[in-house]
Structures are given as structure tokens and as C-alpha cells.
Structure 1
């Protein structure tokens, strides 16, 4: 089903198609209205009673859909909700007393509305009260079939109402979590902007102040001491070039991929695609820093993880994906291995595409390796990347840092 048709839990419908889908999902429970509809269609009432009953049923259904549609994901004004539920209860009482036992099913919908729109404590009091009212009216109306009909409606009224309280809590918790996630993302973006502003201030503040001072000094020296002014201009050029190098280094640091960041991104991307993700929180202890993984090797693994997860999301059709990250001792030394395994569509032959070819070249530049083969169970693929963990001895050249 396309994204423009499906509306997620707690989301407001964004287009007419999503509105129709939500109405259909809520309206499917109107199947229990078959008893009143059959009673009207059976011809057991006068034409006036049938017409008024049809109008009453249409008004009841409209009020029910409006109340559940609008207030499951957001809390209405308690007073308005109580008045709306009281109106539905009046409809149910009047229609049941005038048209007979089949109309007692309306009380089930009153109970569901109480669970959907009222606070939990009020709903827990009102749902049993509505159920008791339904049973009392049924006994008062009596008639053939009352002994079988009333017990059959008691359980749906109670369970339907209390189940709706759980659904409402789930929907509203989902809405709150989504809002909290958006707030956290906004705060993180603001913090990153502040950090970038601080770093640029620290990098450029001194350099620009020095350039300004030397420019003023060169301007004063220029008429009488051109040689000294030329020295100041040379210093200005040197300071400005160094400032440019510092800014480039800072920007490169911001753009560099890191394993913790890509692991978090992989977890989010897999969950968004509906794939069960088993992803570690971060690199194992001792696999980072000057005694473990160089920046270039970490970046190569991060690129590999991104490429692998992208392939799983786009092409695999997998239900689950497992990412492991662990050091391993080999004959050539210690390596850090990253494995991405999925249970999607797998074939015996694995044809490398442009992404895997580029990734293999990126890993080769830091003495890393890449292997791709079908999953052990015959489903999916397993991609394994490895990079050396131990850096070159002091004074040597690290092939991953060139």
C-alpha cells in the first residue's frame, strides 16, 4: 500500500484518500449495526417508525464516527465529550425503548465512545454504568430473545469500551513520542548549529582580528616604510591561508562519517522500513582512538555500513537485519570486522554493483577487505568488512591516514 494511502498510528490524515482509509478502518466496526438495520428492513414497524428510526440511526452513527475519528488521538474538552456521549446515550435509550431489543447494540458503541474520548478514570466508571443501563433496559423491554440477547451484549460492551481505552492510550503515547522525537531532533540541530558557530568563532576570531590589525598597520607604514608594509602584507597572506586551512579541516571533521553515528542511522533506517533491526550501540571497547581505529578506517567502515543498510532497505525485501561489530585475531594481526546480514531475497550468485565496487576500493585504500556471500540459511546476504585495528608503530606511516 502506498504512503499516500496509509495513515500511521496517531497521525492526522493528510489527504482525502487517507481520510477515506481511516473512516473505513473505524467504520468496519459498524458491522454490528446489522441488527438494527435488519429490524428496520424487516417491516415490523410502521412507515413513520421506520423513517424516524432510520434518521435516528443515521444521526447516531454520524455522531459516533465524529467522536471516535476526532478524539482518539487528541483529548477533547471533557465537558464536550461528556455531552456528546450523553447525546449518544439518549439516542440509544429512545431507540431501544421505541423500536425494541435489537437496538440495545447501540449501547456497545456508547461504551466504545466513552473509552475513546473520556479520561481513563472517567471511562472506567462510565463503561460499567453504560453496560448496566443496557442490561436494565433489556430487562425492562423483555420480549422474546431477551434472555439470549442481553448476555451476548454485556461482554462486547465491557470489552469494547475497555479495549478502546487501551487503543486510545497507545495512540496518544505514539503521538507524544513522535512529538518528543521531533523536539529532540530540533534540539540536536540547534546544538549542532551552536557548536559550529562556536568553532568558527574560535577558529576565525583571532585570525580575522590579526588580519585587521596588520592591514591597518600596513596602511600606516605604506607611505614612509614600504618594505615594512610589504612584510605586514606577507603576514596577512600567511594568516589568511592558515585560517582557510583551519576552516577546511573543521568542515571536513563535520562531514566525516563516524561509526556511532552510522550505527544509530542504520537502526533508524531499518526500523522506518519495517525491518527488525539488531544493531549494536557502538564500537566495542578499545576499537577506537589512537590505540585502535584510525579516523580513515573508521570512516571506511561507516561508509560500508551505510551502503549495506541502504541495499537491505531498498532491494532485499528482508524482515530482519543483524549488524555485528567485533574485533578478530588473524594471521595478519587484529582486525575489526563489521557484518551486515539480512534474511531477504538471496541468490547463489552475487554480482557486484557500482556501490560495492566503490566500497571495495575505499576499503583497499586503508588495507581493508570486503566479502559478500549468501546467507547461511539460503536466504539473504551477508556482507563482511574488515579493517586493521593496530596502527603502525610510532614514527611509521599509517596507510589509513594518508
Structure 2
């Protein structure tokens, strides 16, 4: 059993557009496909009834087995993905169509249900342009074969074949769109990481390039002056020390900026985390952070991260609502963050280490924290100054 609740929860979900990861997912996807085999009831009943000779029954079972095997391989491997080339898919779909026609003409109208599978295969495995053509052709072929086999209600089955075929084109398109969205999300994440690395490289070059060049130049001057002008060499060494200290300060400030939590980034990460945990996210659109002090923004970002982490890992919630509100108080303007979910609520054993540390972080920034269970769910409210702290203002 997974020790990570988030992983365990994700493991219970069958992901659309992903290949099966476990035996359970293989079983679920197989059952989803096999349930359509209900239309094989009539052909199987016809073979079991004993109305055919031994040779005919053997031929019927063999043809039906080949038909089902081709159908399962085609739909299981091709729907939403492109495991086979278009030529291979065409051959497999053609094989299904030929088998359906031959078996229906050879054994009678009870085998007309095979055309449903031909229509499903066309909708699931063929490109949309071809599917829109082959599905009606499949219905026409079934109608002609049905009339030839003596089925007076063959016309009624045409609508069923057409509807199921076009429904499968929608399912296949949904799966393909899901795969494309997942790939696009991975591409965006990779591009963002590359852009961040480039920004880091540019910042380091801007911060250290001039300082290191100056240190190198002054070191060379000090080396040349040292034998005959030790006083001037000492001055160069003092300048080197000053430049080095300033470079160290610049690097520390840059690193602090990189490490500082940003509220906009946390909101974007919140949407991704909640979506991945199958929690419906209700987040603010285009929030206004104008004039928000860095200390307040960082504290509020940590509060959002802690709250969302608790929602994803412990609450079992289905919906999470995040609000950012500007309020005017006697102590000045404040920005209020509210995170509310419909999960199981708190444990009732007092605040955990995460909330305790978060309270201390907010108090350091001049803010407050309120957290507690609701009738259904849990709510966390964090408030931070939205303007300059009154106790930090310049003296008269």
C-alpha cells in the first residue's frame, strides 16, 4: 500500500488516455470494451442451439473467435492512440467487415449484430474523415445483408449502428484530446523550466560578470605593484575585498529573491495540484497584488501552499474554493486569503505543526491566521497587511 495518500488516491483512478499501469487498470479497460460484446448473444445462442452441422458449428465458432480477436486488438490498441498505421487499421477493419458479411450470409439474421462492432471499430480506430464515411457504409451493408438474410426489421437496426459508430468517434476524440492536453501541459512545464534556467543564468552573469572581471583586473595590478609599490598593492587588495563583499551581498539578495514564495506562482501551482487530485478548483481570476509588501506576499503564499497541501493529502474533498479579498481595517488595508473545502474537516486534536509554523510566519509579517472545521469541510483564513506596516514607518 502506498505511503503517500495523494499517490494512493491517484492510483484508484483510471486515467483517460493513459496506457494501463496496473493489472487493475487493464481489467477495468478490458471490461469497458468487453461489455460491448453483449451483441454477441444472438450469434452464440445460434451456435449453441444445435441447428447447424458439426462442420458448420466449428466454422461458426472459428469465424466468431477471429472476429472478436480482431475487434478487441483493434479497439484496445488503437482508440485514442495510433499504435498501427492507417494501412494496418484499414486491413483490420476490412477483415471485420468481410467476416460480418460472410457469417451473416452463412448463418442467418441472428448474426447481424456483428455489424455493430464493425461500426464501433470504424468510429474508434479510423480518422474522423474516414469514420464519417465508413460508418454509414457499414449501416447500408448491414441493411442489404439483413434483407438478403430475411430480417424484416433490418431497417430498425440501421439507426443503432449509425448512432453507436458516431458515439465512438466522440469517445475516441475525447481520448485523443486528453492525450494532447497532457502532452501540451508537459511541454509548457518544460518550457517554463528552461526559461527559469535562462533567467538564472542571465542574473548570475549580470551580478557576477562585472565583479569577477574587476577582481581579476585588480588582482593582476596588485601582483605587478607588489614588489615596488606595496602601498598601492595594498589599496588594490582592499578594493578587491570591497568588490568581493558587494558581490556576496548581491548573490545573497538574488538567492533570497529566488527562494521567496510568490503568490501568483502558488495560485498556478494550486490549480495543478487540485486538478491532479481530482478536486474541483474554484480560484480567483486576475487577483490584484498591487502594493502588497514582499513579506506579506511571501507569508500569504506559504499559507496557500500549506492549506492546499492539507486539502490534497488529508481532506478527501471534492471541491476547494480559494478567495482573495481586500479589506480595510482600523490598522490599515489587509489582504485576506480564504481556503475552504468540503472534505472531512479537522481532526479536532488542535493545530498541527504545519498550522503552528504558519501562524508564526504570519505573525512575523504582521498577519493573523484562523483555521477550523465547518459543518462540512474545513476553512483557513489568513490575513496580512496590504500596505506598509505602521510599526515600520520612518520616524519623525
TM interval, short-chain normalised: over 0.9
Out of 124, 132, 135, the position equivalent to 2:140 is 132
Out of 217, 226, 231, the position equivalent to 1:227 is 231
TM-score, length of structure 2 as denominator length: 0.92
- CA offset at residue 77 of structure 1? 3.0
Per the alignment, residue 86 of structure 1 pairs with: 94
> Where does structure 2 lack aligned partners over 5 or more consecutive residues?
1-7
CA contact (8 A) 1:5 1:21 kept: no
Out of 184, 189, 196, the position equivalent to 1:192 is 196
CA distance in 1, matches of 2:31, 2:237: 75
Q: Do residues 383 (structure 1) and 380 (structure 2) align?
A: yes
Over the aligned positions, Cα root-mean-square deviation in angstroms equals: 2.1
CA distance in 1, matches of 2:382, 2:344: 21
Per the alignment, residue 65 of structure 1 pairs with: 72
> Where does structure 1 lack aligned partners over 5 or more consecutive residues?
none
CA contact (8 A) 2:366 2:389 kept: no
Q: Do residues 362 (structure 1) and 356 (structure 2) align?
A: no
Per the alignment, residue 122 of structure 1 pairs with: 130
- CA offset at residue 90 of structure 1? 0.6
Aligned ranges 1:237-256 → 2 under 5 Å: 237-256=241-260
CA contact (8 A) 1:4 1:18 kept: no
Counterpart of 1:374 in 2: which secondary structure? strand
- CA offset at residue 133 of structure 1? 1.0
- CA offset at residue 385 of structure 1? 0.5
CA contact (8 A) 1:263 1:282 kept: no
Q: Do residues 113 (structure 1) and 121 (structure 2) align?
A: yes
CA distance in 2, matches of 1:263, 1:209: 40
CA distance in 1, matches of 2:246, 2:332: 39
TM-score, length of structure 1 as denominator length: 0.91
Q: Do residues 167 (structure 1) and 171 (structure 2) align?
A: yes
CA distance in 1, matches of 2:14, 2:47: 35
CA distance in 1, matches of 2:342, 2:17: 30
CA distance in 1, matches of 2:369, 2:245: 39
- CA offset at residue 346 of structure 1? 2.9
* Residues 397 and 135 of structure 1, relative CA distance in 2, 3 Å threshold: farther
Per the alignment, residue 157 of structure 2 pairs with: 153
Out of 195, 202, 219, the position equivalent to 2:206 is 202
Out of 6, 15, 27, the position equivalent to 1:8 is 15
CA contact (8 A) 1:260 1:282 kept: no
CA contact (8 A) 2:124 2:172 kept: yes
* Residues 58 and 5 of structure 1, relative CA distance in 2, 3 Å threshold: farther
Per the alignment, residue 4 of structure 2 pairs with: none
- CA offset at residue 180 of structure 1? 1.2
CA contact (8 A) 1:333 1:390 kept: yes
Per the alignment, residue 51 of structure 1 pairs with: 58
CA distance in 2, matches of 1:63, 1:316: 45
CA contact (8 A) 1:368 1:385 kept: yes
CA contact (8 A) 2:10 2:277 kept: no
Q: Do residues 295 (structure 1) and 303 (structure 2) align?
A: no
How many residue pairs get aligned? The number is 387
CA deviation profile, 1:195-220 (whole Å, cap 9, x unmatched) = 11111001010011011111111111
* Residues 21 and 100 of structure 1, relative CA distance in 2, 3 Å threshold: same
* Residues 242 and 339 of structure 1, relative CA distance in 2, 3 Å threshold: same
CA distance in 2, matches of 1:105, 1:19: 26
Per the alignment, residue 373 of structure 2 pairs with: 374
CA deviation profile, 1:323-359 (whole Å, cap 9, x unmatched) = 0001112222221100001111136946211000000
CA deviation profile, 1:67-90 (whole Å, cap 9, x unmatched) = 111211124433322222111101
* Residues 6 and 30 of structure 1, relative CA distance in 2, 3 Å threshold: farther
Counterpart of 2:52 in 1: which secondary structure? coil
CA contact (8 A) 2:325 2:335 kept: yes
CA distance in 1, matches of 2:349, 2:292: 29
Counterpart of 2:20 in 1: which secondary structure? coil
Per the alignment, residue 310 of structure 2 pairs with: 311
Counterpart of 2:380 in 1: which secondary structure? strand
